[in-house]
Structure 1
Amino acid sequence: MPDKHLTIRALITGILLGAALAPCNLYSGLKIGWSFNVSIIALLVASGFWALLDRLRPGSALTIGEGNIAQTAASSSANIISGGLVAPIPALAILTGSNLPAGQLIVWVFAVSFLGIWVAWYLRDSLILRSGLAFPTGRATAETLVEIFDRGREAALKLRLLLASACVAGGLKWLDTGWLPLPRPSLGFSLPGMGQVAGFGVISAKNLTFTLDPSLMLAGFGAIIGFRAGVSLLLGSILSWGLLGPWGLYAGFVTPGEADPDAVWFASMIEWLLWPGVALMVGSALTKFVLQAWESRRRAGEGMSEGAGDGDSLMRFAGLVLATALVMIAQVVLFGIHWLMAALAVPIAFVLAMVASRVVGETGIPPIGAIGKVSQLGTGIMAPGEMTSNLIGANVAGGAAGQSADLLNDFKAGQAIGAPPRFQVIAQMFGILTGSLVGSLVYLRLIPDPQGMLITEEWPAPAVATWKVVAETLGHGLSSVPESALWAVAIGGSVGVAAALLERRSHPVWLPSMPALGLAMVIPASLSITMFFGSLIGRLIERWSPTVAQRFLIAAASGLIAGESLVGVARALLGVVG
Structure 2
Amino acid sequence: MTSPVSPSPQQLRLQPESPPPPERDSTPVDPERYWLENVYKGGVRQLTVRAVIAGMVIGAVMCLSNLYVVLKTGWSLGVTITACILAFATFGALRSVGLLRQDFTTLENNAMGSVASAAGYMTGGGNMAAVPALLMLTGALPPSGWLVAWFAVVSALGVFAAIPIKRQLINIEQLPFPTGTATAETLQALHGHDERSRGKARSLGLAGLVGAVIAFWRDAKASWLVWNLPAKLSLPFTIGGKPAGAWTLSLDFSLLLVGAGALVSFKTGWSMLLGALLTYGVLAPEMVSRGVIPEVTYKAINSWTLWTGASVLVSSGLLSFAFQWRSVAKSFKALAGLFGRKQDTEKDPLADIECPPAWFPLGFLVLGPVVVALMAYLFQIPWWAGVVALPLSVVMGVIASRVTGETDTTPTKALGPVTQLIYGGLLPGNLTANVMSANATGGVGLHSADLLIDLKSGWLLGANPRQQFVAQLFGVVAGAAVLVPAFNLLVPDASVLGTEEFPAPSALVWAGVSKMLMSGVQALPVSARIGALCGLGLGVALVLLERWAPKKAKPFIPSASGLGLSIVIPGASSISFFIGAAIAEVLRRKKAKLADAMVLPVSSGFIAGESLMGIAVAMLKAFGVMPK
TM-score (norm 2): 0.85
Question: Could you say which residue in structure 2 is the equivalent of 1:157?
Answer: 199
How large is the RMSD of aligned CA atoms in angstroms? 2.2
| Structure 1: distance between partners of 2:85 and 2:138 | 42
User: Which sits farther off after the overlay, 97-106 or 66-75?
Assistant: 97-106
| Alignment pair present for 1:27 and 2:27 | no
> Does 2:423 match 1:382?
no
TM-superposed deviation, 1:467: 1.8
CA separation of 1:123 and 1:266: change in aligned 2, threshold 3 A:
farther
In 2 relative to 1, CA 319–11 (structure 1 residues): closer, same or farther, beyond 3 Å? Answer: same
Counterpart check, 1:412 vs 2:412: no
| 1:210 alignment partner, one of 243, 249, 263 | 249
Distance 2:237 2:396 in 1: 44
Match in the other structure for 1:220: 259
1:332 has 2:376 as partner: yes
Are the aligned partners of 2:327 and 2:399 in contact in 1 as well (CA < 8 Å)? no
Seen in structure 2, the aligned counterparts of structure 1 residues 282 and 294 have a Cα distance that, compared at 3 Å, is same
Instruction: For 1:242, give the aligned amino acid.
Output: G
Match of 1:464 in 2: 507
Question: 1:533 — aligned with what?
Answer: 579
Shift of 1:300: 12
Counterpart amino acid of residue 539 in structure 1: E
Work out which of the residue numbers 234, 243, 246 in structure 2 matches 1:186: 234
- Residue number in structure 2 paired with 1:364: 408
SS, match of residue 233 in structure 2: coil
Contact 2:328 2:399 (8 Å CA) reproduced = no
Kindly indicate whether residue 300 of structure 2 is the aligned counterpart of residue 268 of structure 1. yes
Q: 2: CA distance between counterparts of 1:269 and 1:397?
A: 32
Q: Distance in 1 between matches of 2:609 and 2:118?
A: 20
CA contact (8 A) 1:19 1:434 kept: yes
- After superposition, give the CA deviation of every residue in 1:306-330 in whole Å (9 maximum; x if it has no partner): 4757361111221133332221111
Three-state SS of the structure 2 residue aligned to 1:206 is helix
Distance across 2 between alignment mates of 1:272 and 1:80: 30
Query: Does the CA-based 8 Å contact 2:299-2:498 persist in structure 1?
Result: yes
Distance 2:315 2:126 in 1: 22
Query: Secondary structure at the residue paired with 1:455?
Result: coil
Contact 2:76 2:124 in 1 (8 A): no
Distance in 1 separating the partners of 2:412 and 2:355: 31
Q: Specify the SS of the correspondent of 1:150.
A: coil
1:82 aligns with 2:124: yes
Residue equivalent to 1:148: 190
Superposed CA deviations along residues 60-109 of structure 1, whole A, max 9, x for unmatched, are 21111111110110111011112555322122123322332111110111
Q: Could you say what secondary structure the match of 1:185 adopts?
A: strand
Task: Find the residue that maps to 2:555 and give its secondary structure.
Answer: coil
The answer on whether the counterparts of 1:123 and 1:304 sit within 8 Å (CA) in structure 2 is no
For the residues of structure 2 that align with 1:190 and 1:311, how far apart are their CA atoms?
62
Query: What CA distance in whole angstroms lies between the structure 1 residues aligned with 2:259 and 2:450?
Result: 21
- State the distance in 1 between where 2:335 and 2:381 align: 33
- Match of 1:205, as an amino acid? A
Secondary structure of the corresponding residue to residue 128 of structure 2: coil
> Once the 2 structures are TM-superposed, how far is the Cα of residue 181 of structure 1 from its aligned partner?
2.6
1:134 to 168, 172, 176: 176
Structure 1 segments (4+ residues) deviating >6 Å:
298-301
Amino acid across the alignment from 2:597: R
Letter in 1 for 2:177: F
Is the 1:281–1:515 contact (alpha carbons within 8 Å) kept by the matching residues of 2?
yes
Matching residue's letter, 2:586: L
Cα offset, 1:494, TM superposition:
2.8
Selected match of 1:348 from 380, 386, 392: 392
Tell me if structure 2 keeps the 8 A contact 1:126–1:304.
no
From the superposition, tell whether residues 401 and 515 of structure 1 become closer, same or farther in structure 2 (CA, over 3 Å). Answer: farther
State the one-letter code of the partner of 1:290.
A
Q: CA deviation at 1:246?
A: 2.3
Higher deviation after alignment, 555-564 or 241-250: 241-250
Asked if the contact 1:111–1:330 (Cα under 8 Å) also holds between the matched residues in 2, the reply is no
Runs of 5+ consecutive residues of structure 1 not aligned to the other structure: 193-201, 259-264
The DSSP-based 3-state class of the residue aligned with 1:269 is helix
1:557 counterpart (599, 603, 607) = 603
- Following the alignment from structure 2 to structure 1, what is the Cα–Cα distance between the partners of residues 449 and 84? 19
Q: Distance in 2 between matches of 1:272 and 1:488?
A: 8
State yes or no: 1:256 paired with 2:294.
Answer: yes
Instruction: Identify the residue that residue 493 of structure 1 maps to in structure 2.
Output: 536
What's the secondary structure of 1:212's corresponding residue?
strand
CA distance in 1, matches of 2:331, 2:109: 36
Question: 1:297, CA displacement in angstroms?
Answer: 4.5
CA distance in 2, matches of 1:174, 1:117: 37
User: Which one-letter code corresponds to 1:316 in the other structure?
Assistant: F
1:185-218 Cα deviation digits (max 9, x unpaired): 21133333xxxxxxxxx34422321111011111
Residue 33 of structure 2 is matched in structure 1 by none
Q: Deviations over 1:515-538 (max 9, x none)?
A: 111111110010000110011111
Deviation at 1:370, TM superposition (A): 3.2
2:465 equivalent in structure 1: 421
Q: What do residues 336-373 of structure 1 show as CA deviations (whole Å, max 9, x unaligned)? A: 21112212223333323333333322332333243222
Deviation, structure 1 residue 137: 1.1
Q: CA separation of 1:516/1:419 partners in 2, compared to 1, >3 Å: closer, same or farther?
A: same
- Is 1:478 matched up with 2:521? yes
- Structure 2 unaligned spans of 5+: 1-41, 344-349
Cross-structure match for 2:364: 320
Which has the larger displacement, 534-543 or 496-505?
Answer: 496-505
Percent sequence identity is: 36
Q: Which amino acid aligns with 1:503?
A: E
Say if 1:239 and 1:83 are closer, same or farther in 2 by CA, change over 3 A: same
In 1, the alpha carbon distance for the partners of 2:265 and 2:86 equals: 24
What is aligned with 2:165? 123
- Cα distance between partner residues in 2 of 1:379 and 1:321: 23
* Aligned counterpart, 1:195: none
Distance 1:94 1:311 in 2: 40
How many residues are paired up? 561
Q: Cα distance, 1:397 vs. partner? A: 2.7
**Residue 305 in 1 paired to residue 337 in 2?**
yes
Deviation at 1:278, TM superposition (A): 1.6
Q: In the alignment, is the contact (CA less than 8 A) between 2:164 and 2:360 conserved in 1?
A: yes
**Cα deviation 1:530-555 (Å, max 9, x = unaligned):** 11001111112122210111122101
Measure the CA separation in 2 of the matches of 1:359 and 1:243: 37
One-letter code of the match for 2:496?
Answer: M
Secondary structure, counterpart of 1:231 in structure 2: helix
The answer to whether the aligner puts 1:10 opposite 2:57 as a matched pair is no
Match of 1:242 in 2: 281
2:569 to 505, 523, 527: 523
Q: CA 1:337–1:408 in structure 2 vs 1: closer, same or farther (change >3 Å)?
A: same
The residue identity in structure 2 corresponding to 1:145 is: L
Return the match for 2:318 from 282, 286, 290. Answer: 286
